[in-house]
Amino acid sequence: MNSVLDELTWRGMIADSTDRQALAGHLAQGPVTFYVGFDPTASSLHIGHLMQLMVVRAMQEHGHHPLLLVGGATGLIGDPKMTGERKMNDREVVEGWVESLKAQVSKYVDMDGPAGARVVNNYDWTSEYSALRLLRDVGKYFSVNRMLARDVVARRLDSGISFSEFSYVLLQSLDFKELHERYGCTLQTGAQDQWGNITAGAEFIRRTSGDVVHGLVTPLLTKADGTKYGKTESGTVWVDPELTSAYAFHQFFLNAEDAKVIDYLKVFSPRPHDEIDDLARQTAEQPWKRAAQHALADDITDMVHGPEARRAAEKAAQALFGKAELYELDETTLGSVACEVDAVTLQGPTLPTVADAMVLAGVVESKSAARRAVREGGAYLNNVKVTDADQPLTSDDFLPGGVAFLRRGKKTIGAVQR
């Protein structure tokens, strides 16, 4: 069997690590306890977090024991950003987010098997530290010169950085030390932007106890042009269906670029090497079939939302483009689709004509363009071809949830909602 490092390397999930040979030897000696942290800066995980959970799953498959840290303490401060100070959220809000993230991280990994995961909260030990104890027991071991040299801090010096965010590295290093002492944790994993925090924690443990621990970071998910992956025009791609519907989630991954789709498959799909290699071949030889995109969207949506929600999302997409009946979709799915196409809420008691509705929905620029689309046979109301641009909508034209879909041609879709 290949080692977990070989598997993660093939899947493109290692950007850097502490001494690779030493880490490989440590993992080969037997099951190790490792941890990855998630700060509650929102009520839901996003797909960047999901990549970290894929590392956890791979480690578990090789018998290693994960600690999933939800940062009830660090979430009150926030890891420094390149762009400016984070908002300090109320303690009650953060506590609610902690509980939400605890439930979410538990969904994606094995909590009960031989390598079952444990969820921990760093507030449990950080709350026991007074300011004086933190300065004496932790701060004494950190060089301000090295802290100033960290990339995120150096870039913020001109615009300003608070002492709270500047000191975040002390708290994350303390987490590593506490987990090392409490659970025998000897490895921390995370995203590439956590490298400085992880190595600082390893150094803190070495200086205070003489013990050698390890770190491993994944690359940031990026598009072909190098920009961050996981953002849409409407915002972050969340795993919570209340924030990103199964339909929107599935569509997002269906639109993955040919140049990067295999990279994403390796990260998010459980398919074996030979299947992914075959999908890579198909993408190179027949990119128009988008076989890899369909595999990616199906696999990750099944994992996050479940097969039933994925099938509903596929049916909704087919119905929107006239390949299935909109009337067969349930109200929840119709509402998700309406949200994704930015359905316009109608004002007043009088229903518009089809031409007016097409303008309101944004599928045409003017009533004359709407009439032209009707004349040319390219205007549709709920997938039914429109023959009279001036016919008013009726109550029967609105699907469950009070939404009606307008389409021009094959791909230009909008909606109005009562």
Q: Which domain holds residue 259?
A: 231-305
- Angle of helix 246-254 relative to helix 331-340, nearest 10 degrees, comes to 50
Alpha carbon 58 to its chain's center: 18
Per-residue pLDDT of the chain (418 residues; tens, 9 = 90+): 479 999 999 999 999 999 999 999 999 998 999 999 999 989 999 999 999 999 999 999 999 999 999 999 998 887 777 777 778 888 999 999 999 999 999 999 999 988 999 999 999 999 999 999 999 999 999 988 888 888 788 787 778 888 888 888 999 999 999 999 999 999 999 999 899 999 999 999 999 999 999 999 999 988 888 777 766 655 789 999 989 999 999 999 999 999 999 999 999 999 999 999 999 999 999 999 999 999 999 999 999 999 999 998 998 888 877 777 788 888 888 888 888 888 899 888 888 899 999 999 998 899 999 999 998 888 888 888 889 989 899 888 898 888 999 889 888 888 999 8
Binding residues for L-tyrosine, as ranges, are: 35, 168, 172
Of 168, 197, 218, the residue at which a domain comes to its end is 218
Residue 315 in domain:
no
Q: Is residue 340 within 8 Å of 251, Cβ to Cβ?
A: yes
- CATH number of 357's domain: 3.10.290.10
Q: Does residue 237 share a domain with residue 184?
A: no
Is 319 contained in some domain? no
Do 100 and 148 belong to one domain?
yes
Domain end (from 305, 331, 357)? 305
Radius of gyration of the chain (CA): 25
Range 351-354, long-range pairs (CB < 8 A, 24+ positions): 351/392, 351/393, 351/394, 351/395, 352/392, 352/393, 352/416, 353/389, 353/390, 353/391, 353/392, 353/393, 354/379, 354/381, 354/386, 354/388, 354/389, 354/390, 354/391, 354/392, 354/393, 354/406
- Rounded-to-integer distance, Cα 148 and Cα 337, Å: 47
Q: What is the pLDDT of residue 21?
A: 95
pTM score, two decimals? 0.88
Q: Are residues 184 and 39 in the same domain?
A: yes
Host H or E run for residue 15: none
Q: Quick check: is 280 in a domain?
A: yes
Q: Which amino acid is at 103?
A: A
For 92, counting Cβ atoms within 10 Å of its Cβ (0-12 exposed, 13-18 middle, 19+ buried), the class is exposed
Q: What is the pLDDT of residues 102-158, one digit of tens each?
A: 999 999 999 998 899 999 999 999 999 999 999 999 999 998 888 888 878 878 777
What residue has token string 């029967």?
Answer: 396
Q: What is the CATH number for 259?
A: 1.10.240.10
CB atoms within 10 A of CB 308: 10
Annotated binding site: 35, 168, 172, 231
Q: What angle do CA 244, 247, 249 make, to 5 degrees?
A: 50
The two counts, helices (H) then strands (E), for the chain are: 19, 13
Angle in degrees, CA 105, 171, 4, rounded to 5: 45
> Is the residue at 178 inside a domain?
yes
Domain count of the fold of the chain: 3
202 and 244, same domain (yes or no): no
Torsion angle of the four alpha carbons 5, 10, 12, 16, in this order, in degrees rounded to the nearest 10: 30
Q: Would residue 156 count as lying in a domain? A: yes
155, 5 in Cβ contact below 8 A? no
Q: How far is CA 135 from CA 140, 148, 179, in A?
A: 6, 17, 19
Q: Residue ranges for the binding site for ATP?
A: 231
Q: Are 169 and 107 contacting, i.e. CB atoms less than 8 angstroms apart?
A: no
Please give the pLDDT value at position 9: 96
Same domain, 37 and 172: yes
Q: Report DSSP state, residue 219.
A: P
